[in-house]
Amino acid sequence: MEIEGMRVQHHRQGLLAEPDEGAAEVCFGDRPTQRNRQFFSELRADRAEQRILVGEMAVDGLLGDSGALGDLVERHPLVAFGEEHRGGGANDRITLVRPRSGRQAPCIRIAGSRSFRSDGICHGAAHRAPYQTGPSSLEYSRRIGASSSMKRFVYLLLLVGLVGGGFYGYRHYEKMKAPRQAAAPAAPRPAVPVEVAKIERGTVNEEVEALGTLAADESVVIAPEIAGRVIALGFKEGERVEKGQVLVKLDTAILDAELKQQQADLGLARDTFERNRSLSQRGVGTQVAFDEATAKLASAEARVQLSKAKLAQSTLVAPFNGVVGLRAVSVGDFVAVGKQLITLTNIDPIKVDFRVAEIFLSQVRVGQTISLKVDAVPNKDFQGQIFAVDPVVDINGRAIRLRATVPNRDLVLKPGLFARVTIVVDQRENAMLIPESAVVPDGIGKVVFIVENGKAKRVAVELGKRLPGKVEVLKGLTPQMQVVSSGQMRLRDGSNVSIKNAPPPVQTSALPVAPTSP
């Protein structure tokens, strides 16, 4: 299709206008590049004739005085107006222009916000459409631009008028309403139902928590000092035994025979010693014979003592009260010297070893009470007492080692258990305690509401130790006050309150009076 020296055809990126010599060309597409910045200077140069094809959705101001092609239209206006161009890059906000110097040069993008319609019609490459040229088209475009600007200005004035009128009406309404509100008496606010609680007195402990391990108070391994065959066991595994109770007894037949032999040798040595001493006193015997008899007597006595000691070692007894563990021996076993037979431990009381940070060094001391919990015995606290503080601080963890004893009469605590230890480092008597539900967070602090003369009063407080369901109050309250424990979230300072849990007033009933006889 040709329009006044221009051939218009479809392109894969839009509608192309291929000009004859001396004509400009226009296209609709979406491939603008940096080279198109030179196009406007070329269009403003002196040309014999320029042709521009503008679609229905060309941006407002494109042909106006301030538009990108304004100078061009004033010089050589020859503008074709079309109602519809179906190109891949044409839309209602973008018009793309290709320079005449390069047919394959990409288009440049010109964006705007408003479009105008022309009298001419062009329906693509299949139809030939009329168009307008010359100064009339320029006047038409300027007229359209001026009309659009005037409409925007009118709309802006209307918007400003509506906003200003609304603001003035609101201010006038507020001024008229204020005297009526001042004249009308304020309605009393309804009372907020709340529950109150009295401040309690109690003992508060300052505590330090630590982790520790349970250990037996005493623990030994029972092992024989002589070899022999086990002939008796005097215990049952896991039971309590008393100090001196026989645990293991070895066969003593050989030891008994050796003892008798040593005792016989001792008798002979004693007789020999007596004869030599008698001869020596009478001056008949020699001193050498007397000395030999004396040495043999001492040697025989020593051998007898050794046999008795071995005989005593054949019986293994408990060195202290405790609980025996699992045995590793049976009756009839031949045991060597040092073989571990059983373990005896004393776990009543039981010890707990734990550590605390060095910053608590001045707060821990011997005799302090501890509270102990173990996972193996849930829901039960054990009480103990510190009996030793290590004089050396552990340089690895900068901690102090402590040891405490805990009564264990039921033997429920076992050595090796993991324990949570709590040390009472300070104790405050008659501390003020309130329900934890009465405390209201207030950004940088804590507040509570108290009731005075039927009204709520907001009081800032300083809290101390927290207990289960309660909290200590250090500052802000006195023991005579009542704090709001429920419903305080609806309160403000000065709100009327009605106490739901107030004690009923005491009512005195008149007693019947017996009639007096005349």
Residue 441 CA to residue 208 CA, distance in Å, equals 26
What gap in Å lies between CA 460 and CA 223, rounded to an integer? 70
Q: 205 pairs with which residues across the strands?
A: 427
Of residues 157, 37, 208, the one with CA closest to residue 106? 37
pLDDT score, position 402? 94
Q: Which residues contact 258 (CB under 8 A, 6 or more apart)?
A: 307, 310
Q: Which among 55, 58, 51 is positioned nearest to 79, based on CA atoms?
A: 51
The pLDDT of residue 181:
55
- Whether the CB-CB separation of 422 and 207 falls below 8 Å is answered with yes
Looking at residue 185, its pLDDT comes to: 54
Measured CA to CA, the distance from residue 42 to residue 23 in angstroms comes to 12
pLDDT, position 178? 61
By the 10 Å C-beta count (0-12 exposed, 13-18 middle, 19+ buried), 185 is classed as exposed
**Distance (Å, rounded) from C-alpha 502 to C-alpha 489?**
19
307 contacts 259 by C-beta, under 8 angstroms: yes
Cα 74 to Cα 43, 61, 146, 323: the distances in Å are: 12, 14, 17, 117
Look up the pTM and report it.
0.48
Distance CA 80, CA 26 (A): 11
What pLDDT, on the 0 to 100 scale, is given for residue 386? Answer: 95
Q: Domain map of the chain by residue range? A: 2-150, 224-243+317-340, 252-313, 343-428, 429-499
CA–CA gap between residue 459 and residue 349 (Å, rounded) = 50
- CB atoms under 10 Å from CB of 322, counted, come to 22
- CA dist 348 and 350 (Å) reads 5
DSSP state of 513: P
CA dist., res. 393 & res. 359, Å (int): 11
pLDDT of residue 220: 94
Cα torsion for 32, 35, 36, 42, to the nearest 10°?
-170
Report pLDDT for 290: 84
CATH number (2.60.120.10, 1.10.287.470, 3.40.190.10, 3.30.465.10) of 252-313 reads: 1.10.287.470
Single-letter amino acid code for the residue at 55: G
Length of the chain: 518
Q: How far is CA 142 from the centre of its chain?
A: 69
Token pair 């405790």: residue: 322
Instruction: Please choose, from the candidates 203, 187, 191, 190, the residue with its C-alpha nearest in 3D space to the C-alpha of residue 484.
Output: 191
Give 126: exposed, middle or buried? Use CB within 10 Å, 0-12, 13-18, 19+: exposed
Architecture category of domain 343-428 in CATH? Beta Barrel (2.40)
The phi, psi pair for 490, rounded to 5°, reads -95, 0
Contact 455, 497 (CB under 8 A): yes
What are the tokens at 253? 């037949």
Residue 354: the pLDDT is 95
The side-by-side arrangement of strands in the sheet containing 25-26 is: 25-26, 94-98, 108-111
- HSE of 278, CA atoms in CB hemisphere, 13 A: 6
Judge whether 69 and 108 are in contact, CB under 8 Å: no
Annotate 46-106 with DSSP letters as a single string: --S---EEE-TTPBTTSSSTTSTTHHHHHHS--EEE-S----SS--SSEEEEE-SS-TTPP
Question: What is the C-alpha separation between 86 and 319, in angstroms, rounded?
Answer: 110
Residue-by-residue pLDDT tens, the chain, 518 positions? 333 333 333 333 333 333 433 333 444 333 433 333 344 444 444 333 333 444 333 333 344 443 444 444 444 333 333 333 334 444 443 344 444 444 444 444 333 333 333 333 333 333 333 333 344 444 544 555 556 678 788 888 888 888 888 888 878 777 776 665 555 555 567 888 888 999 999 888 888 999 999 999 999 999 999 999 999 999 999 899 999 999 999 998 888 888 889 889 889 988 888 888 888 888 777 888 888 888 989 999 999 999 898 898 899 999 999 999 999 999 999 999 999 999 999 999 999 999 999 999 888 999 999 999 999 998 899 999 999 999 999 888 889 999 999 999 989 999 999 999 999 888 888 899 999 999 998 878 899 999 988 888 999 999 988 888 899 999 999 888 889 988 888 888 888 888 887 655 544 443 344 444 43
Q: ω into residue 349 within 30 of 0, thus cis?
A: yes
Task: Return d(Cα 279, Cα 266) in angstroms, integer.
Answer: 20
Distance CA 461, CA 479 (A): 13
Which pLDDT value is given to residue 231? 93
Q: Which amino acid is at 107?
A: C
Q: What is the model's pLDDT at position 280?
A: 82
Amino acid at 277: R
Q: H/E element holding 137?
A: helix 135-183
According to CATH, the topology of domain 429-499 is: 2.40.420
Would you say 347 and 415 are in contact if contact means Cβ atoms under 8 Å apart? yes
